[in-house]
A and B are shown apart, each in its own frame.
Chain A
Amino acid sequence: MDDKMKELVIISGKGGTGKTSLVAAFASLAGDKVLCDADVDAADLHLIMNPTVKERHDFQSGHDAIINAEKCTQCGLCRELCRWNAIREDFTIDPIDCEGCGVCVYFCPEGAVDFPVKTCGEWYLSDTRFGPMVHARLGIAEENSGKLVTQVRQEAKKLAEAKGLPLILTDGPPGVGCPVIASLGGASAVLIVTEPTVAGRHDMERVAELADFFRVPVMVCVNKADLNADATSDIRRYSEKKGYDFLGTIPFDPVFTKAMVAGQTILEYDTRTEAAEAVRSIWNGLTAKMEM
């Protein structure tokens, strides 16, 4: 990555802590940047950014094994070798169970298994009122979400380089698995948005451990902080003990939902709320830490 260009990835571990609303608010505060929605499984950032799609590309990854009934002699070798039990008794393949490993394709003595490349989603280059955005849609029940995350992040980087934009703001996925791992590698920093609940705390610890594993600097903020002031203090202490930058708290505020319903960021909806003030303060802390 260009020395000057930075990528901030916003993650949470637990879903529903307010990642996307916060990314949208940051989008309205940041200067020149590329927006990147890396939550390809359940992408929501576009619902606030209302992007105009400029380019649409197929995302192709993996293969589907399909048995050609005319060539198949039903010898049964594929059923013996398939570790996914994806081949039914009538020698058709369940596309949901098929892992695309190609073992049946390789071993079929009749060459009866076709193996076409799969189109499992789309990715888009778009314009928004806050600048360019790269986003995607993974086909329902599809695999390879990690590869699609890698693709949208690469496209965001290319775009930032081409336009000389200094920042990529990436909305990450929940969890700690494949798509999260794909969204962390090479990031300049992560901001973990958590909530003061036993689940929020548990999940942020795991995702912070993952970020540590990838040596990405961790920053933390707590949304809905007043729901449980003790738990918020615990998270702050935990962050400080671990050497994570604790950037602040945001109060529980129905403005998040109201703004979402209106298709706006919380700062566009009402600049004067306590939550808006808190978000601005976190953004200021963040830009200072990232030396932007």
Chain B
Amino acid sequence: MVISIASGKGGTGKTTVATNLAVSLGKGVQLLDCDVEEPNAHLFINPVFEKTEVIAASVPEVDEEKCTLCGKCGEICQFKAIVVIGNTVLPFPELCHSCGGCMAVCPEKAIREGERVLGITEAGRRGDLEFAHGRLRVGEAMSPPLIRKVRSLSKSDGITIIDAPPGTSCPVIASIKDADFVLLVTEPTPFGLHDLKLAVGAVRILGIPCGLVINRSDVGDDRVRKYAEEVGLPILMEIPFDRRIAVAYSRGQMLVDVMPEWKEKFLQLYERILTLVNSGKE
């Protein structure tokens, strides 16, 4: 079972929910941090990393001996990542989406697959909990291929919890697609509500069942609750604002370590998710 934790707005508590849910469940659980632009879960999990892999995208490398400057590669490329200018062919690897079109179209077989480093994946564990994340190379623009690599580390059995990036565009889609459930985390403020609506839109496009966690549930106003009721979005957990929680978070401490009574609540959260997933299958 794959549960993705997402939110339109950043800083609403995705990582808090993902890490505490994963640690509460413990054995047989895998936590994948797919916020590869700004991965944070490891700061709370403190895993021992056992395996690091450099992840690269395939980009064109031109053999100028073979190239006849016919220009077909530039013609097929939708991303302006390879062009023929005068008597030279210029690849722009940072613009390349790795579609392989230029290699397939080249009549001289003059283009081979080179590499552009996207970042790394690191995998390890904390006790029984398996952990992996990706770190996008600073300066690299494209995160979805690295996110897909992190997701490819998912075990087919057991529970996989995914910490998704904020927003609603391609990196989020890459992090929630084909999940069994999306748990949305928001705060009851106008920004939280506005971005929640976008996130619900994205999840509904993909047809994945979803539920809501309201963090800092006693600040702001009641419009998030009203909206959730209107669109039939079940509220599965509420976490009130508590300065102790904020301070513990600032230090990289887990909520369930500082306030152990929360473990039971995260286990209940999982039971509620399980019920919703199973009722959807019937």
Contacts and interface: CB of A to CB of B under 8 A. Distances in A.
B11 A14 contact: yes
B136 A176 contact: yes
Interface in A233-258: 252, 254, 257
A200 B250 CA distance: 8
Given A41-B169, A44-B191, A254-B219, A16 B101 contact: no
Contact of B166 (A15, A63, A257): A15
A261 B190 contact: yes
Interface residues of B, number: 59
A209 B220 contact: no
Given A14-B38, A17-B11, A100-B78, A140 B101 contact: no
B142 A177 contact: yes
Given A106-B105, A199-B15, A202-B43, A42 B8 contact: yes
A41 B104 contact: no
Nearest to B75: A106
Interface string B211-246: 000000001110000000000000000000001001
Nearest to B9: A42
B221 to A, nearest CB: 5
Nearest to B142: A178
A123 to B, nearest CB: 15
A252 B198 CA distance: 28
Interface stretch (A51-59, A142-150, A267-275): A142-150
B171 A177 contact: yes
A177 B202 contact: no
Contacts of B79: 101
Contacts of B15: 199
Contacts of A203: 38, 40
A85 B236 CA distance: 34
A212 to B, nearest CB: 9
A261 B99 CA distance: 46
A15 B221 contact: no
Interface in B34-73: 35, 37-38, 40, 43-44
Interface string B99-114: 1110011000000000
A14 B142 contact: no
- Name the residue among B10, B12, B206 with the largest chain A CB count within 10 angstroms: B10
A227 B250 contact: yes
A138 interface: yes
Contacts of A200: 250
A250 B202 CA distance: 34
A140 B78 contact: no
Interface string A31-60: 000000000011010010000000000000
A101 B78 CA distance: 6
Nearest to A181: B141
Interface in A262-282: 263
B250 A231 contact: yes
B261 to A, nearest CB: 22
B35 to A, nearest CB: 8
B86 interface: no
Interface size class of A (residues with CB under 8 A): 35 or more
A135 B241 CA distance: 32
Contacts of A41: 166-169
B257 interface: no
Interface string B117-144: 0000000000000000000101111110
A260 interface: yes
Nearest to B39: A202
Interface string B12-48: 1001000000000000000000010110100110000
A186 to B, nearest CB: 16
Given A16-B9, A83-B100, A44 B195 contact: yes
A173 B221 CA distance: 25
24 contacts: A16-B11, A42-B167, A42-B168, A47-B191, A62-B78, A81-B104, A83-B98, A96-B205, A99-B99, A100-B78, A107-B104, A145-B169, A145-B170, A174-B167, A175-B143, A175-B166, A177-B37, A181-B141, A198-B40, A198-B250, A198-B252, A209-B138, A257-B219, A260-B220
Given A206-B38, A263-B190, 12 more contacts: A14-B10, A15-B10, A15-B11, A44-B9, A81-B104, A101-B97, A106-B105, A140-B168, A145-B169, A176-B138, A228-B247, A260-B191
